[in-house]
Structure 1
Amino acid sequence: MQVNTIEELIEEVAKGRFVIMVDDESRENEGDLILAAQFVSPEKINFMMKEARGLICAPLPDERLFRLGLKDMVTRSEDPMKTAFTVSVDARAGITTGISAYDRSRTIEVLADPKTTPADLVTPGHIFPLRAKTGGVLIRAGHTEATVDLMRLSGLVPAGVICEIINDDGTMARTPDLMAFAKRHGIKIGTIQALIEYRRQFDKLVDKVAEAKLPSDTGLWDLKLYRSRVDGLEHVALVKGEISEAPTMVRVHSECFTGEVFGSLRCDCREQLVAAMNMIEAEKCGVLLYIRQEGRGIGLANKLKAYQLQDRGLDTVEANEELGFKPDLREYGTGAQILKDLGLREIRLLTNNPRKIVGLEGHGLKVVERIHLEVQANERNRKYLEAKREKLGHLFRYLGHS
Structure 2
Amino acid sequence: MTDVCDVKKRIESATNALATGRPALIVSGADDQEVADVLIPAALAGPRWTAWAVRYTSGLLCAAMRSTRADELELPAMVRGNGSSTTTPAFGVGVDAVAGVGTGISATDRSRTARVLASPQTRPVDLTRPGHVLPLRTASRGVLERRNSAEAAVDLCEIAGLSPVALTATLLGDDGTLLQGTELAAFAQVHSVPAVQVQDVVHYRLHHGDGHVGRVRQTATRIVDLPDRCMRVVDFDDELTGAHHTAFIGSTTPAAAPTVYIVFECSHRDPLAPDCGCRQEFETRRTRIAAEGGIIVYLRSNPRPANQYTVQGHELAQGSISSILTHLGFTTVIVSGWPGDQHPTSARALHLTPTVRNPAYKIAASL
- Give TM-score scaled by structure 1 length: 0.62
Matched residues in 1 for 2:258 and 2:287: separation?
Answer: 13
Alignment counterpart, residue 362 of structure 1, candidates 346, 352, 364: 352
Q: Which structure 2 segments of 5+ residues have no match?
A: 1-5, 225-229, 268-276, 338-342, 355-367
Matched residues in 2 for 1:105 and 1:194: separation?
Answer: 27
Residue aligning to 1:251: 261
Deviates more, 1:16-25 or 1:129-138: 129-138
Asked if 1:206 corresponds to 2:223, the answer is: no
Asked if 1:142 corresponds to 2:148, the answer is: yes
Deviation at 1:206, TM superposition (A): 1.4
Residue aligning to 1:70: 75
Residue aligning to 2:3: none
Asked if 1:190 corresponds to 2:199, the answer is: no
Asked if 1:287 corresponds to 2:293, the answer is: no
Asked if 1:9 corresponds to 2:14, the answer is: yes
Deviation at 1:139, TM superposition (A): 4.2
Identity %: 27
Asked if 1:239 corresponds to 2:245, the answer is: no
Residue aligning to 2:131: 125
Q: Kindly tell me: are residues 105 and 355 of structure 1, through their superposed partners in 2, closer, same or farther at Cα, counting changes over 3 Å?
A: farther
- Compare relative contact order (CA 8 Å, sep 6+) and give the higher one, 1 or 2: 2
Alignment counterpart, residue 319 of structure 2, candidates 333, 340, 348: 333
Matched residues in 1 for 2:72 and 2:153: separation?
Answer: 20
Deviation at 1:157, TM superposition (A): 3.5
Q: Kindly tell me: are residues 251 and 26 of structure 1, through their superposed partners in 2, closer, same or farther at Cα, counting changes over 3 Å?
A: farther
The letter of the residue matching 1:250 is V
Matched residues in 1 for 2:311 and 2:322: separation?
Answer: 24
More helix by share: 1
Q: Kindly tell me: are residues 210 and 40 of structure 1, through their superposed partners in 2, closer, same or farther at Cα, counting changes over 3 Å?
A: closer
Matched residues in 1 for 2:184 and 2:345: separation?
Answer: 34
Matched residues in 2 for 1:337 and 1:189: separation?
Answer: 24
Matched residues in 2 for 1:81 and 1:236: separation?
Answer: 32
Segments ≥4 residues shifted beyond 4 Å: 77-80, 208-214, 220-225, 246-249, 272-275, 291-294, 298-302, 324-331, 340-348, 352-356
Q: Kindly tell me: are residues 90 and 79 of structure 1, through their superposed partners in 2, closer, same or farther at Cα, counting changes over 3 Å?
A: same
Deviation at 1:30, TM superposition (A): 1.2
Matched residues in 1 for 2:15 and 2:329: separation?
Answer: 30
SS for the counterpart of 1:87 is: coil
Matched residues in 2 for 1:356 and 1:27: separation?
Answer: 35
Q: Kindly tell me: are residues 327 and 117 of structure 1, through their superposed partners in 2, closer, same or farther at Cα, counting changes over 3 Å?
A: closer
Matched residues in 2 for 1:275 and 1:40: separation?
Answer: 58
Report if the CA contact (8 A) 1:209-1:226 is conserved. Answer: yes
Q: Kindly tell me: are residues 9 and 325 of structure 1, through their superposed partners in 2, closer, same or farther at Cα, counting changes over 3 Å?
A: closer
Matched residues in 1 for 2:131 and 2:66: separation?
Answer: 19
Matched residues in 2 for 1:356 and 1:156: separation?
Answer: 39
Q: Kindly tell me: are residues 133 and 243 of structure 1, through their superposed partners in 2, closer, same or farther at Cα, counting changes over 3 Å?
A: farther
Report if the CA contact (8 A) 2:237-2:244 is conserved. Answer: yes
Deviation at 1:117, TM superposition (A): 1.8
Pairs within 5 Å for 1:104-115: 104-115=110-121
SS for the counterpart of 1:130 is: strand
Please, what is the CA RMSD of the aligned residues?
Answer: 4.5
Matched residues in 2 for 1:117 and 1:357: separation?
Answer: 51
Matched residues in 1 for 2:284 and 2:45: separation?
Answer: 59
Pairs within 5 Å for 1:3-402: 5-25=10-30, 29-53=34-58, 55-62=60-67, 64-73=69-78, 74-77=80-83, 81-199=87-205, 200-201=207-208, 204-208=214-218, 226-229=236-239, 231-237=240-246, 239=248, 244-245=252-253, 250-253=260-263, 276-283=281-288, 285=290, 286-290=295-299, 292=301, 329=315, 332-341=318-327, 349-351=335-337, 352-353=343-344, 357-358=348-349, 360-363=350-353
Matched residues in 2 for 1:355 and 1:88: separation?
Answer: 54
Which protein shows a greater Rg?
A: 1
SS for the counterpart of 1:55 is: coil
Deviation at 1:23, TM superposition (A): 2.4
The letter of the residue matching 1:362 is L
SS for the counterpart of 1:162 is: strand
Report if the CA contact (8 A) 2:32-2:180 is conserved. Answer: no
